[in-house]
Structure 1
């Protein structure tokens, strides 16, 4: 389907996620407020207040007793920001050494212990992004809470948010990363976020960015899929077909991006009522889909039954 773009994330090396400041919640002792007046000459409290030391004429609490009174304040529940800062528990087997060398280099400006903690959260985000994207996102948020001014951290937050279906958050994080490092390889994901948020026009606008011309073949295919999907969202099936026909559909490569281009083309042909052409392209997709990334064989079988 055209929406399969979001279900087929490209595995980007680097951050480990498909590729900030402490808010403590310490205990506070209760303040010892209240009237601390002395006594008048007749032994009564000055100013009409109540005695501060227990029964009249009795002994005042010792200093140790007073300290024990102050220490009984219960801890307050942690706020959402504090919980995000703490992040999920870090698996013992994840050390941060799993990250790409370039990512670790970006963390060198942090204090050593802080860099180590951020690295572990980034590595955990990368480890969980496929099996549990929401958990990966929480690890990325913990890294961001500690190092929000580092581009690779914002990139990880954006990619995990995208994987977990938090498209507005993903768009915000990837915009921040792009402002920091000027990278353009986030554009296909950003465009797809616009689609998911109901803004296909913005997706098409990003797809027409001049920088797309310099993309790798795989990245160009990703952007083509998003643009074609946005055209379909707007009911422009003919325009979607023209967009896909400009892509290398007949490439001899068996890479995943070729499989997905052919599948999207076949799917759009069927949506446009061109069932015979769709059947041919579902067969062409299945011929190179050795890893069964798509259900092209089943789609072809259904069309054959319909036409028989």
Structure 2
């Protein structure tokens, strides 16, 4: 008998034999201990598979998290994983719903930047700005604060506030001499926004500044810089 759509989602994609679930961080495994042993093992394998695939095959990763959610929807880390995978796969409404659920369960505000970006992706920049004003943002780690700042700038740009968007990034230590990943992300966002604003020469300068600190190649700044300079030649 052919399985229904719901049954297929519950089953999830095939689990690679080499994925045991033990690849997960201990804090994640601890949250699964309240489940029956076999069930916890199955959920862990789906979460581990999702983690391995989220960059290369985000849709498959999302399907793995749906299979985990079907078995453990009351576990916060499962809803978090489902939200992150949905976000990576471009399912922003679903991601927002899952991240809201994870936030309720865990009480953490770490999901706020991603939630704001989902609102923006859904064409609701005003809601993204509301989340950016949440007092809890100031208590987030620096990298998460920067992510929220980038989303805020993007939302302002969406609303036609080009100068305000650029000032938002300029006021976020875009000229920091640190070489942390958040500096890379901030400079890249600034360069990208300058280009969208038609300030091409300044954008090229800031793509150069991004490449200078992006030793891990976290962005495609080098490729974009090469294209821009080729167009000028």
1:114-129 to 2 correspondence within 5 Å?
Answer: 114-129=39-54
Residues 282 and 297, structure 1, Cα contact 8 Å, conserved in 2? no
What residue number does 2:90 align with? Answer: 165
Tell me the TM-score normalised to structure 2 length. 0.92
Counterpart-to-counterpart distance in 2, 1:107 and 1:273 = 50
Residues 116 and 132, structure 2, Cα contact 8 Å, conserved in 1? yes
236 and 115 in structure 1: CA distance in 2 versus 1, 3 angstrom threshold: same
Residues 275 and 303, structure 1, Cα contact 8 Å, conserved in 2? no
> Which has more radius of gyration?
1
Task: Pick one of 104, 108, 133 that aligns with 1:183.
Answer: 108
1:300 Cα deviation from its structure 2 partner: 7.2
What residue number does 1:107 align with? Answer: 32
Residues 283 and 297, structure 1, Cα contact 8 Å, conserved in 2? no
What residue number does 1:289 align with? Answer: 214
1:305 Cα deviation from its structure 2 partner: 6.2
Counterpart-to-counterpart distance in 2, 1:285 and 1:139 = 35
1:131 paired with 2:56, answer yes
1:141-156 to 2 correspondence within 5 Å?
Answer: 141-156=66-81
Highest relative contact order (Cα 8 Å, sep 6+), 1 or 2?
1
What residue number does 2:193 align with? Answer: 268
What residue number does 2:225 align with? Answer: 299
Higher helix share: 2
1:255 Cα deviation from its structure 2 partner: 2.4
Counterpart-to-counterpart distance in 2, 1:249 and 1:99 = 34
297 and 136 in structure 1: CA distance in 2 versus 1, 3 angstrom threshold: closer
Q: Compare 263-272 and 181-190 and name the one that shifted more.
A: 263-272
Counterpart-to-counterpart distance in 1, 2:222 and 2:203 = 10
1:150 Cα deviation from its structure 2 partner: 0.6
163 and 305 in structure 1: CA distance in 2 versus 1, 3 angstrom threshold: closer
1:257 paired with 2:195, answer no
CA deviation profile, 1:75-116 (whole Å, cap 9, x unmatched)? 4x3221111111111111111111111111111111111111
Residues 279 and 304, structure 1, Cα contact 8 Å, conserved in 2? no
1:272 Cα deviation from its structure 2 partner: 3.1
Residues 282 and 300, structure 1, Cα contact 8 Å, conserved in 2? no
1:174 paired with 2:99, answer yes
Counterpart-to-counterpart distance in 1, 2:67 and 2:16 = 14
Residues 204 and 228, structure 2, Cα contact 8 Å, conserved in 1? no
1:221 paired with 2:155, answer no
Counterpart-to-counterpart distance in 2, 1:246 and 1:264 = 13
Tell me the TM-score normalised to structure 1 length. 0.71
